[in-house]
């Protein structure tokens, strides 16, 4: 039995090689790893009349195994950042350590006293031991009727989520999303009130500040 070719593949980050042999009768053979064969309920010895057929059967089995080893979980990513006065404690110490650089928003807000708060639902997808994170969109948020809209509350993958290390990740729950949504709305209301305040003429602003009515 002559060795014809090596088939290379990766599982769980480890490289593997399987030898392809050819019998004197012209039958091509290869052995897939036992753990793959067991998971897929296959005979670990593959045979095919041509090398091309054997490669197709072999890689189909590997891909099917990887698909079977795929899982998806929902997480909530939360991020908070601040700059200027908003990254200081009442006593003047920094919120984020000695110099407050960990969540310094100066690059985005220049010299403003500013803060940012964000949360979003993320899908954690694990394929063959490799983890990827994806942004999501619910079925009800799709603009046109399609398959996703059949379940309006289901979260679907909507592009890769980058800068994962900048977020705090917690397991998903509807209650957690609801609580975060309420918190975000309160911050938004304050933002809207400040906008309305600063849009007034200077005389009105002066009067309100004199009467201590900044957020009324």
Instruction: Put residue 13 in one of left, alpha, beta given phi > 0 → left and psi -120 to 50 → alpha.
Output: left
CB 162 within 8 A of CB 132: no
The answer to pTM > 0.85 is: no
Q: Are strands 28-31 and 14-22 parallel, antiparallel or unpaired?
A: antiparallel
Structure tokens at 142: 């799709």
Structure tokens at 104: 């310094």
Nearest 5°: the CA angle 201, 207, 210 is 140
Query: Would you kindly state where each structural domain of the chain is located, as residue ranges?
Result: 2-68, 71-172
Sign of the four-CA dihedral 12, 172, 180, 140: positive
What are the pLDDT tens digits along the chain (216 aa)? 678 899 988 887 788 889 999 998 899 999 888 888 886 777 889 999 999 999 998 898 888 888 777 889 999 999 998 888 888 888 988 887 655 555 555 455 556 788 889 999 999 998 777 789 999 999 888 877 666 667 888 999 999 999 899 899 999 999 999 999 999 999 999 999 999 999 999 999 998 888 877 766
CB 143 within 8 A of CB 129: no
- For the beta sheet containing 14-22, the strands, ordered from the edge strand earlier in sequence to the opposite edge, are 2-11, 14-22, 28-31, 45-48
Nearest to 167 by CA among 130, 204, 121, 131: 121
């Amino acid at each position: 039995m002559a060795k014809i070719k090596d088939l290379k593949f990766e599982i769980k980050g480890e490289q593997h090689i399987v030898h392809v042999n050819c019998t004197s009768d012209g039958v091509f053979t290869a052995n897939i790893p036992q753990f793959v064969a067991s998971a897929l309920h296959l005979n670990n010895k593959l045979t095919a009349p041509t090398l091309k057929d054997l490669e197709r059967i072999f890689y189909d089995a590997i891909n099917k195994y990887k698909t079977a080893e795929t899982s998806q979980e929902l997480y909530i990513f939360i991020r908070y950042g601040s700059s200027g006065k908003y990254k200081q404690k009442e006593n003047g110490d920094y919120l984020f350590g000695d110099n407050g650089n960990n969540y310094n928003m100066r690059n985005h807000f220049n010299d403003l006293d500013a803060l940012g708060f964000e949360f979003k639902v993320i899908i954690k997808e694990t394929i063959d031991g490799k983890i990827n994170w994806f942004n999501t969109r619910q079925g009800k948020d799709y603009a046109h009727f399609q398959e996703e809209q059949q379940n309006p509350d289901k979260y679907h993958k909507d592009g890769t989520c980058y800068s994962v290390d900048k977020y705090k990740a917690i397991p998903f729950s509807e209650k957690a999303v609801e609580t975060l949504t309420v918190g975000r709305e309160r911050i938004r209301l304050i933002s809207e009130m400040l906008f309305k305040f600063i849009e007034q003429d200077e005389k009105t602003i002066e009067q309100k500040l004199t009467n201590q009515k900044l957020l009324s």
